[in-house]
Structure 1
Amino acid sequence: MGEEAPQQQWLSIHDPATCTRKGLCPVKKKLRGRGQESDSPTPSHSLYFEQHGTGPIKVVAIVGLNDSCNACDAQVKYFGRLPQYSFLVFDNRGAGNSDTPRGPYSTEGMAEDVVVLLDFLGWTETRSLHLVGFSLGGMIAQQLSYRIPERFISLTLGTTTAGGFPLCNIPPVPKIGLYCRTQFTRDLEKKMVCIVEMCFGASWLDATAENDAEGRTNREVQTALFMERSALTRTPKPMGAISQMWAGFTHHVRAARLAQISKTIPKVVILTGDEDHLVRPSNSAYLKKHMPEAEYLVWENTGHAITMQHVERFNALMERVLQEGQARVEGRI
């Protein structure tokens, strides 16, 4: 296992009280030639990571397009404080505190980054990990779970797509203009307004937020949360932002590979919201069609940012998935 960057160089994005390990993982570029593959002698980039907790149940979370790992803050706060869990989050290449190597990127290459990170941390045992990916992170999770299926107990694919067809990898046509504004608007406040509109359904945004002492709407609460998150991490460089977008647009996992993943991993869950404005819910239906063993869930009145709209509900789902996956590995169900 490799040595981590000195921890004092990095302030924990999440709760420092639960952060047990953090730093930079060096990733070496793959050199290909004459039918062979080897590592470059020098790293091409590094991934920033945080581990919260030291429990035996290990969870790996992969975030979405141009997000930093603070997109999983609600999950880190919950699982990182429970003694039975080790919760790993990281910034994909081109985002957050990770480096921005030259693009374009691919979901296969970004999945290879995760393999390197897991090896670096020593998370290599058979049937020892639970994997969850959201949006672009779900695309990377598909590639990763095909690459090293033997390590995973469970796989949760949230609001994502297998790609491959012209309309699978782009937002619905009425939302393309809004999507472009989320990526290229420089005014931070205007950008946050666009992101919130893209991530949640209008009726939910207009409703009064539950348990909010100020009586704000969900729109006001989520806009404030996105503003807070943006202040905690670096703005992606244009190279990283565009290269991650390219990875999402070119992503494709063939039906035969989806079927193989479904057969190989003990517990698979496909989750989407019926008001997802970024990744069509029909993409999750396609995943289910070719992953027949998977559990398929469609949450009503729910947008793309499913873990932020339904924090407690999603955390409860994750706990169930982790338990059922372990039970299947042990032959109890």
Structure 2
Amino acid sequence: MPASVLASAVTAVSRDEKTTEISPIQLTPAAEVINHPAFPTCVWDLEPTDDNIVQVAHGRRCGPLRIHYQIHGDGPIRVLLICGIAARHTAWQRQTLYFGHERADKYSVLVADNRGAGDSDKPWWYSTSEMATDLVDVMNHVGWTHRRQIHVVGLSLGGMIAQELGLLIPERISTLNLIHTAARIESSFTDNMVDYLRVLKPKTLDQTLQASALAMFNNDWLVQPDDCSIPQKGTPKVKFPPTEKADGEYLMFETNYQRYAAQEISKQRMPGYSDADKWAILGHFIACGFHSKSDAQLRQIAEKVGGERILVLHTKDDMMIPSRYGQRLIDVMRPGMALMMGGSGHVPKLEKAKWFNELLEKSFAKGEELTRQGKV
């Protein structure tokens, strides 16, 4: 995601401590979110089939370092979900639940904390190619090495990492799903560095949460009733809260913004989160800002992976990575599935979770069918 867009959004909201007077919509203060009955249940306890830390990057810059990963489900269809800037693996929990628990006999879902996030190490060097190679090391460790075995899904920075995988291991990829991402962000090094430093400027919790939400999501969606499909009793390997917390149930918030804010606050309260994470976020921004794939490289990815195995999804209203970046991917790569929509922001996995999950299912099914037909 372009740092300039996030920085300008943060600056706009931080002009006044009373952020709700500036915002075009009323957003719940963080203190009220924390005191909401649903707050202790906003991060779901999804029991993985494999939860481990593996050493990667042997012989590479900053290596070796540790990457935390989980696998959910034990089905034959392998899905890799790649996180964006500063995101932990729990950012994919709606997709992890859908594929790795509700359909655990069909899918195996691999989610990892990229270097600089969650329980993975936070080194001094970040690039999309290095982060992609980290994931190759993880997949080698868990045995995901077969031809046309992996359905790769990457959002934003994760989509840039996914492009690198398309160059590194194209023969292993069954489908390549590029969501709200870009081949290159068009801004200068100086502009990027100024914007990165502005992002790191100290702000209140409300300023940070509201600025990011207003920049990432459709503002109408933020104030609409919470539309999350929460875990239901009987779903395989889903642990429910203790009865003294929320009566043993996962609870709903009043609005979508409240759920987003609760998950962001919970992320900062998780064990291991520290000031080092803030500087690791800078590393993620740098990786994003320096990611660059030429038209020739994009065509190479499409040729080696197979254009019919590629999905590109973007929306016209994305404020983080404008739609022209998605259109370039579509024009150059000529993917088998190309969608340029309206009506949502940068994060369809949250704003349109049901539709998004079903779209991915269609993409995965298409890749599996191509492999069955012998198109390798």
Question: Do the two structures share a fold, i.e. TM-score over 0.5?
Answer: yes
Which of 56, 59, 63 in structure 2 is aligned with 1:27? Answer: 56
Task: Tell me, yes or no, if structure 1 residue 277 matches structure 2 residue 319.
Answer: yes
**Greater shift in the superposed pair: 134-143 or 194-203:** 194-203
Matched residue, 1:193 = 210
Task: Tell me, yes or no, if structure 1 residue 84 matches structure 2 residue 106.
Answer: yes
Matched residue, 2:304 = 264
Matched residue, 2:262 = 224
Give the deviation of 1:198 after TM superposition: 1.7
Q: Which runs of 5+ in 1 are unaligned?
A: 1-12, 33-39
* Local SS of the residue matching 2:184: coil
Matched residue, 2:175 = 154
* Local SS of the residue matching 2:45: coil
| Maintained 8 Å contact 2:311/2:338 | yes
Task: Tell me, yes or no, if structure 1 residue 61 matches structure 2 residue 101.
Answer: no
- Deviation by residue 1:233-274 (Cα, 9 ceiling, x = unmatched): 625524311111110000001111111212222411001122
Give the deviation of 1:31 after TM superposition: 5.2
Q: TM-score, normalised by structure 1?
A: 0.83
Matched residue, 2:118 = 96
Distance 1:125 1:321, change over 3 A: same
Distance 1:183 1:193, change over 3 A: farther
Distance 1:167 1:306, change over 3 A: farther
Give the deviation of 1:320 after TM superposition: 0.7
Matched residue, 1:206 = 223
One-letter amino acid of the counterpart of residue 245, structure 1: F
- Deviation by residue 1:31-62 (Cα, 9 ceiling, x = unmatched): 59xxxxxxx9xx52110000001111000010
Distance 1:184 1:118, change over 3 A: farther
Larger helix proportion, structure 1 or 2?
A: 2
Give the deviation of 1:299 after TM superposition: 2.8
Distance 1:164 1:208, change over 3 A: closer
* Local SS of the residue matching 2:177: strand
Distance 1:15 1:85, change over 3 A: farther
One-letter amino acid of the counterpart of residue 258, structure 2: E
What is the rounded CA distance, in whole Å, between the counterparts of 1:274 and 1:126 in structure 2? 35
Q: Which runs of 5+ in 2 are unaligned?
A: 1-42, 230-250
Matched residue, 1:15 = 45
Matched residue, 1:323 = 365
Matched residue, 1:237 = 277
Q: Percent identity over the alignment?
A: 29
Task: Tell me, yes or no, if structure 1 residue 253 matches structure 2 residue 290.
Answer: no
| Maintained 8 Å contact 2:46/2:97 | no
What is the rounded CA distance, in whole Å, between the counterparts of 2:165 and 2:53 in structure 1? 20
What is the rounded CA distance, in whole Å, between the counterparts of 2:200 and 2:109 in structure 1? 29
- Deviation by residue 1:127-167 (Cα, 9 ceiling, x = unmatched): 11100001000000001111110001001001100006328
- Deviation by residue 1:57-84 (Cα, 9 ceiling, x = unmatched): 0000101011111110100111111111
* Local SS of the residue matching 2:51: strand
What is the rounded CA distance, in whole Å, between the counterparts of 1:15 and 1:242 in structure 2? 29
Distance 1:293 1:278, change over 3 A: closer
What is the rounded CA distance, in whole Å, between the counterparts of 2:57 and 2:147 in structure 1? 24
- Deviation by residue 1:178-219 (Cα, 9 ceiling, x = unmatched): x97765445333322222112102232233444899783333
* Local SS of the residue matching 1:30: coil
| Maintained 8 Å contact 1:200/1:275 | no
Q: Which one has more relative contact order, counting CA pairs under 8 Å at least 6 apart? A: 2
Cα RMSD for the two superposed structures: 2.8
Give the deviation of 1:281 after TM superposition: 1.2
| Maintained 8 Å contact 1:44/1:101 | no
- Residues matched between the structures, number: 304
Larger strand proportion, structure 1 or 2?
A: 1
